Amino acid sequence: MGKTYKIAVVNGDGIGAEIVPAGVSVLDAVATKYGFKLDKQEFPFGAGYFKEHGKFMSDDALETLKKFDAIFFGAVGLPEVDDTLPARDYTFRVRTSFEQYVNYRPVKLFPGVESPLRYKTEKDIDFVVVRENNEGEFVQSGKIMHGDKPGGMAMDTSIFTRFGIERIAHYSFKLARKRNSKVTNVTKSNTLINSLAYWDRVIAEVAEEYPDVEYSKMYIDNASASFVLRPEIFDVILTTNLFGDILSDLGGAIMGSLGLGGSGNINPEKDFPSMFEPIHGSAPDIAGQNIANPIGQIWSAAIMLDHLGETEAAKEIMAGIEATTAKGNLTKDLRGTASTSEVAESVVQFINATKLSTI
Ligand code: NAI
Ligand code: MG
């Protein structure tokens, strides 16, 4: 018998209740096939929980979640709940408390999915956005002063530390060694002449330790245009919390839909559980209709298994996603007619139908 992994399952809000179970069905299929066990426990945290209890998580939530190997998460946020709270009280809290300082966000064109970039193929769109996930622009250090008065003012301070920059840089260069040996630092040090100039300097120092990896730097404005015009130049993109947030949604768009993007909030040292979630939000506009695309959630399941060391099972999930899209089994966001559960079912069927030895 293989290993047992303790997985905390947090559906969150909106389409979370549909796509997370879709992802869990795929996880169960590969666990059975590859002989490992998933000891799952659900937690009802999110904006829905807030409406009932006045907080996004129970008071002992972090202590409890800490005992798990990983957190499989959908998204949080509801239109009727103050939208400054979900990130502060759930997502960022988990990411920072558990030192998930890497936000791993791959971008890839699947067979059978038409990218809006009509001249590009699967070979051209295949890279990873590595987003610094614990500091930078999103530390939420700032203040609104005299907000209601004519002299009102507001500020948010970005914080970049040598420690934080070095560890995300090392992660990125090591990742590049497993891919196509290329790191692009996406920055804006020409205008953010303190914080991002320091960011660049520390990364350049780390780059010297990886002479086998091609290193270059690009400004965020040019990088945004390049995502659309020449995505084939990218392999590993190393960038800050804010830039990574925006660029990975753009990555989702060039894949064909936000609903396709998977991600991991990773603590590489495994001192704490990591959290795996699609790149998009809770999509309240399409919740409850069984039409949300579950592929971002299912891809997140594959990234989770890869992190836990079940690499073969992770590869099989990816093969299952590709077989499903290649057949044209697509949800409405990709101009298809399949439901959330039909897409998940198709990935499960692929896993159940293929022999272990053929993968
Ligand atoms: P969103 O990502 O939820 O939705 C943006 C657009 O993409 C919508 O039109 C939606 O229908 C579509 N979409 C997203 N996921 C899809 C899927 N799986 N299949 C098909 N279509 C999909 O972003 P939005 O509307 O800005 O935010 C909605 C809520 O989600 C807010 O409360 C926001 O705070 C929250 N949010 C939560 C995140 C998290 O928990 N990590 C991340 C981003 C937003
Ligand atoms: Mg985002």
Q: How far is the CA of 15 from the centre of ligand 1 (A)?
A: 9
Q: Which runs of consecutive H residues, i.e. helices, occur in the chain?
A: 16-34, 47-53, 61-65, 85-86, 92-97, 162-178, 195-207, 220-229, 241-255, 295-308, 311-326, 340-353
Ligand 1 pocket (Cβ < 6 Å) reads: 15, 19, 75-77, 83, 86, 91, 258-259, 277, 280-286, 292-293, 296, 333
Pairing, β 236-239 against β 182-187 = parallel
* DSSP single-letter state for residue 358: G
Cβ < 5 A residues, ion ligand 2: 245
Under a CB-based contact definition with an 8 Å cutoff, are residues 132 and 245 in contact? Answer: no
- Give the number of the atom of ligand 1 that is nearest the alpha carbon of residue 292: 19
pTM over 0.75: yes
In this structure, whether the domain defined by 115-255 belongs to CATH 3.30.465.10 is answered with: no
Q: How far is the CA of 3 from the centre of ligand 2 (A)?
A: 33
- CA dist 32 and 25 (Å) reads 11
Under a CB-based contact definition with an 8 Å cutoff, are residues 227 and 251 in contact? Answer: yes
Q: How far is the CA of 262 from the centre of ligand 1 (A)?
A: 13
CATH of span 1-103+261-359: 3.40.718.10
- Kindly report, residue by residue over 72-88, the tens digit of the pLDDT: 999 999 999 999 899 89
- CA distances to 248, 294, 321 from 103, rounded to whole Å, are 10, 20, 22
Residue 341 has, within 13 A of its CA and on its CB side, a CA count of 6
- Kindly report, residue by residue over 238-284, the tens digit of the pLDDT: 999 999 999 999 999 999 999 999 999 999 999 999 999 999 999 99
Residue minimizing CA distance to atom 25 of ligand 1: 283
State the pLDDT at residue 44.
98
Domain with CATH 3.40.718.10 in the chain: 1-103+261-359, 115-255
DSSP string, 167-203: HHHHHHHHHHHHTTSEEEEEE-TTTSTTHHHHHHHHH
* CA-based nearest residue to 34, from 294, 279, 359, 299: 359
Low-confidence ranges of the chain (pLDDT < 50): 358
- CA dist 2 and 126 (Å) reads 32
Helix (H, G, I), strand (E, B), or coil: what is residue 283? Answer: coil
